Copies of this chain bind each other. A is one copy, B any other.
Amino acid sequence: MSAVRVACHQLAPVVGELAANRERALAAIDAAAAAGAQVVVLPELVSSGYVFEDAAEAHALAEPADGPTLTGWAARAATHDVLIAGGFPERGDDGRLYNSAALVDASGVRAVYRKAHLWDRESLFFTPGDEPPAVIDTAHGRIGLIVCYDLEFPEWTRAAALRGAELLCVPTNWPLLPRPPSERPMEVLRTMVTASTNRMAVAACDRCGAERGVEWVAGTAIAGPDGWLLAGPPERAEPQLLLADLDLADARDKALGPRNDALADRRPALYDAGPHT
């Protein structure tokens, strides 16, 4: 079976409202499952919100991987037999905070990935992760996971593809930047090109809801392995459920016509040579 229905549920967390944010995420999972989704992607830091005042606030909103946020997702994953990908601020055993995301299925927490490329003030609160993109086999496909700014590093998305990710989940909080009128957000173009370049589906789930003066792209988008959009971006910066039906067999086939292959055509001996790479 390679057909899978993927949901991204754009949400508007409110910084500091842990209980309400968790409820919003659980309701989003329920809504996605009710719409037939087998994979549900939620935004980055969906339990806590994003715009922390200071490190003390970030610490107060963080929790370990066996804390209430992921425990709640695990219960819902079991109820609905869905795979959930979403972000939360992780307090590690080392006492440090990580901008993490998890893959959770009916059997529980399958992977916790710590964002390796930190954006702006995140470096005031979080320690960057040192592990590669999470890529795991699940009942719903071979699923990869990175977070937001990670997507801007093609080395990282390629690493996920080389590990066999058929669908790359990208919980995000994309701050809104100016762009030319009538242009799609660059983040959406990057989602499309990342998919096309690696012949893997990419599901980026963004947030909405201005937070302490920060506006968001609200650019949730699902691209198929050919790069074309199957869902999103939404017309309005509001919470909403986006769905796409994928055939992950398309993502396992890297052929580009009779003589080319998106991964096999790489020249790694050249990439690794010299002082610049």
List chain A positions with a Cβ less than 8 A from chain B.
Answer: 116-117, 119-121, 123, 128, 130, 132, 149, 152-156, 158-159, 162-163, 179-180, 183, 186, 189-190, 192-193, 196-197, 227-228, 257-260, 262, 265-268, 270-274, 276-277
Contact = CB atoms under 8 A, between A and B. Distances in A.
Given A119-B259, A130-B270, 14 more contacts: A117-B265, A119-B260, A120-B258, A132-B270, A152-B197, A154-B158, A155-B267, A156-B271, A180-B228, A183-B228, A186-B192, A186-B228, A189-B227, A268-B277
A202 to B, nearest CB: 12
Q: Is the interface of A mostly helix, strand, loop or mixed?
A: loop
B228 A162 contact: no
Contacts of A274: 132
A163 B272 contact: no
B189 A270 contact: no
Given A197-B190, A272-B272, A260 B120 contact: yes
Contacts of A267: 116-117, 128, 153, 155-156
Contacts of A180: 228
Nearest to A155: B271
A262 B151 CA distance: 12
Contact of A116 (B128, B162, B270): B270
